[in-house]
């Protein structure tokens, strides 16, 4: 797995995404939003955490694959 640096633009995108989710009444952790932001436009995010579905709704370029539990 490659290392992905989180740059200033990623922080701003994550903050905006988290703010939009909070406006919808959804509480999503900052680390989860940062993980999704770092993956957007760079990689496919594989997870079993369904909370990432909400994040994907506000991070359009996120290529999300949910694992079945």
Evaluate whether residue 34 is within a structural domain.
yes
Q: Does residue 3 belong to any structural domain of this protein?
A: no
Residues 36, 38, 63, 57: is their CA dihedral positive or negative? positive
Q: Which domain holds residue 31?
A: 8-66
57 domain residue, yes or no: yes
In degrees, rounded to 5, the angle at the alpha carbon of residue 56 between the alpha carbons of residues 3 and 54 is: 125
Number of domains, the chain: 1
Give the pLDDT of residue 39: 92
pLDDT the model gives residue 3: 78
Q: Is the CB of residue 42 less than 8 Å from the CB of residue 5? A: no
Per-residue pLDDT reduced to its tens digit, 41-55: 888 999 999 999 999
Decide if 2 is inside a domain.
no
Residue 20 lies in a domain: yes
- Mean pLDDT, rounded, of the chain: 92
Q: Output the pTM of the full model.
A: 0.87
* Positive/negative CA dihedral, 17, 53, 36, 33: positive
User: Looking at the domain assignment, is residue 21 inside a domain?
Assistant: yes
């Amino acid at each position: 797995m490659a290392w992905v640096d989180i740059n200033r633009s990623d922080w701003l995108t994550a903050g905006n995404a988290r703010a939009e989710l909070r406006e919808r009444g959804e509480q999503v952790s900052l680390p989860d939003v940062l993980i999704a932001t770092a993956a957007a436009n760079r990689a496919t995010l594989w997870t079993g955490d369904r909370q990432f579905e909400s994040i994907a709704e506000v991070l359009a370029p996120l290529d999300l694959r949910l694992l079945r539990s």
